[in-house]
């Protein structure tokens, strides 16, 4: 069974995610706080969860650090103060990490709005695990550092973060989704799927570089938006921006190598 591809997140995209996290967190703190407490609807973590659930795991540290810094600044400036800003930021990104990890381990991806199984797993991870634990941490931080009431703070955290996650994360995942399958016809009829590509992935490189017929078909599994790179445009990039052309070629080579490794593993498994 082919697993859905996950997006490549660049350093610039990670920084942009942190800036967006800061904006969403600040808006929540300025407009929807409980009296003297936490945000009524905390949608910032939904952004981080959606990014992590659709990104390659090696991009997670960059996303976590970017959003942790954003959370610290937002809480210090507009939330419960600088004293609790760092521990609350750790709890924020910890919540997103727990949800993303559970969902990734159990095969939950971009379709939680369309699959009852994936939606139930997401709700369990968000409401049954991550925010129960993170809420305890938030209650302890605020009660120890600021003298708050532990049960009251736990309830504020839990309701605000669960509500924000349930409302915002499925919508963000829909915005980030879009998958196509690469298939080849079989001699006996029908077709076989070689790979499933998601946002940030590319296809048609062989035809672009060699100029020949395509070796496989690409079929949309969901609603998809694609950019088109023509042979003429790529040749212009080679002339005017050779460094970018080399980066594109390296990415295509890396994708091809990963496909060869996976297909070799699948063929070997068939003969075992």
Q: Do residues 42 and 31 touch, judged by C-beta distance below 8 A? A: no
| pLDDT tens-digit map of 34-53 | 655 677 778 899 999 999 98
Residue 196 φ then ψ, to 5°: -120, 125
The Cα–Cα gap between 74 and 92 comes to: 12
Return the DSSP state at 83.
G
Could you please report the per-residue DSSP string of 53-74? HHB-GGGHHHHHHHHHHHHHHH
Between the two ends of the chain, the Cα-to-Cα distance in Å is 16
In angstroms, the CA 196 to CA 215 distance is: 16
- Find all residues with CB under 8 Å of 206, minimum gap 6, and list them: 212, 214, 215
65-123 confidence digits (pLDDT tens): 999 999 999 999 998 889 999 999 999 999 999 999 999 999 876 667 667 888 899 99
pTM of the complete model beyond 0.75: no
């Amino acid at each position: 069974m082919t697993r859905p591809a996950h997006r490549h997140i660049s350093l610039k995209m990670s920084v942009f995610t942190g800036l967006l996290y800061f904006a969403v967190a600040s808006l929540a703190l300025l407009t929807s706080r409980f009296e003297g407490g936490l945000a009524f609807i905390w949608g910032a973590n939904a952004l981080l969860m959606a990014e992590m659930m659709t990104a390659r795991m090696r991009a997670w540290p960059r996303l976590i650090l970017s959003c942790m810094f954003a959370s610290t600044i937002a809480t210090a400036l507009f939330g419960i103060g600088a004293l609790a800003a760092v521990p609350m930021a750790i709890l924020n990104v910890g919540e997103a990490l727990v949800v993303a990890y559970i969902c990734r381990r159990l095969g939950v991806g971009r379709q939680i709005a369309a699959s009852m199984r994936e939606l139930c797993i997401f709700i369990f991870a968000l409401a049954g695990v991550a925010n129960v634990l993170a809420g305890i941490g938030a209650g302890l931080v605020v009660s120890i550092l600021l003298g708050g009431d532990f049960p009251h703070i736990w309830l504020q955290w839990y309701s605000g973060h669960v509500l924000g996650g349930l409302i915002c994360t499925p919508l963000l995942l829909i915005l980030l989704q879009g998958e196509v399958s690469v298939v080849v016809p079989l001699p006996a009829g029908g077709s076989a799927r070689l790979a499933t590509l998601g946002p940030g992935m590319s296809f048609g490189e062989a035809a672009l570089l060699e100029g020949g017929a395509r070796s496989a078909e690409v079929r949309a599994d969901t609603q998809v938006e694609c950019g088109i790179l023509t042979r003429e445009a790529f040749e212009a990039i080679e002339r005017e921006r050779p460094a970018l052309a080399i980066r594109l070629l390296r990415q295509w080579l890396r994708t091809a190598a990963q496909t060869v490794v996976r297909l070799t593993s699948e063929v070997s498994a068939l003969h075992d």
